Amino acid sequence: MSGNEASAEGFSAQLRTLAEPIWQRELEHPFVRGLGDGTLAVESFAYYLQQDYVFLIEYCRVFALASAKAADLGTMQSFAKLLGGTLEVEMALHRDYCSRFGLTPEMLERTIPSAITLGYTNHLLAVAYGGSLADIVAAILPCQWGYAEIGSVLARQANRGAETRYREWIKMYSSPEFIAGAQALRGLLDRMTRGWPPSATEPLKRHFLTSSRFEYLFWDMAYTRESWPL
């Protein structure tokens, strides 16, 4: 996914403008604010970690499908690298981080996906199985780009003196490497959609907005520690 960077005039910038009200509400959500100032209840963060663990497993399947649908070897390798990095590195780091909040590997493996987690992963998998690579990138971009944006905003707050017990989480998602990965996905989508008529991009807009809504709902689900009613 290396190559031209995302453009301020590219299709990804249009998507970000469309999703602005949703993304702003994410930044204002008490879960995200609590990450930034350290006031988020540990119980809510632990619940988030458990749900994020089962989310990441399904997310890996999406990367695998993206690699399979890539039109060139370089893009295939990029998604294979994302898949390997998530399975072998991020999941291991996630388990280590979870242990600091009292979550054992056995507890993570027993996690039952919430209704929101299941709905979000089913959405991503449906797009990945039934759509093109452009569809997949539009669907996963709110997660990759959104986390980079939230991490960067919270990091700037921390640099102004806000102390938080969640600073390692913030550092992870505001790292140059993570931001570069999100920008690479933006650039890929911009290149793939260059010259497309508006009618051809409508499905991508729907995918992006649906994933953006699920991102908000994921924070809200973790904040309230929402469980199945039955």
Nearest to 210 by CA among 119, 129, 148, 89: 119
Can you tell me the mean pLDDT for 127-153?
Answer: 97
Between residues 226 and 95, which one has the greater pLDDT? 226
| CA angle at 149 for the pair 147 and 155, rounded to the nearest 5° | 95
Given a cut of 70, whether residue 19 has pLDDT beyond it is: yes
Instruction: Please give the C-alpha separations between residue 73 and each of 45, 90, 104, 145, 149, in angstroms, as whole numbers.
Output: 39, 24, 38, 24, 29
Sign of CA dihedral 206, 147, 223, 22: negative
Provide the 3-class DSSP secondary structure of residue 101. coil
Please tell me the predicted confidence (pLDDT) of residue 162.
60
Two tokens, residue 41: 């209840």
**In angstroms, rounded to a whole number, what is the distance separating the alpha carbons of residues 191 and 229?**
44
**Residue owning tokens 């102390």:** 163
Can you tell me the mean pLDDT for 194-223?
Answer: 97
**Residue owning tokens 């893009």:** 75
Topology of 11-224 in CATH? Heme Oxygenase; Chain A (1.20.910)
Nearest to 50 by CA among 135, 114, 126: 114
Two tokens, residue 19: 């999703």
Two tokens, residue 192: 């793939």
Active site (catalytic) residues: 143, 215
Distance of CA 12 to the CA centre of its chain: 15
**pTM of the model as a whole:** 0.93
Two tokens, residue 4: 């031209």
Cβ pair 141, 15 in contact under 8 A: yes
Cβ pair 116, 217 in contact under 8 A: yes
Instruction: Provide the residue ranges of all domains of the chain, joining segments of one domain with +.
Output: 11-224
Nearest to 77 by CA among 90, 63, 88, 87: 63
**Is residue 1 very low, low, confident or very high in pLDDT (cuts 50, 70, 90)?**
low
Q: What is the pLDDT of residues 60-102, one digit of tens each?
A: 999 999 999 999 999 999 999 889 888 887 788 788 888 888 8
Residue 139: CB atoms within 10 A of its CB come to 26
User: Residue 55, class by beta-carbon neighbours within 10 Å (0-12 exposed, 13-18 middle, 19+ buried)?
Assistant: buried
**In angstroms, rounded to a whole number, what is the distance separating the alpha carbons of residues 143 and 27?**
14
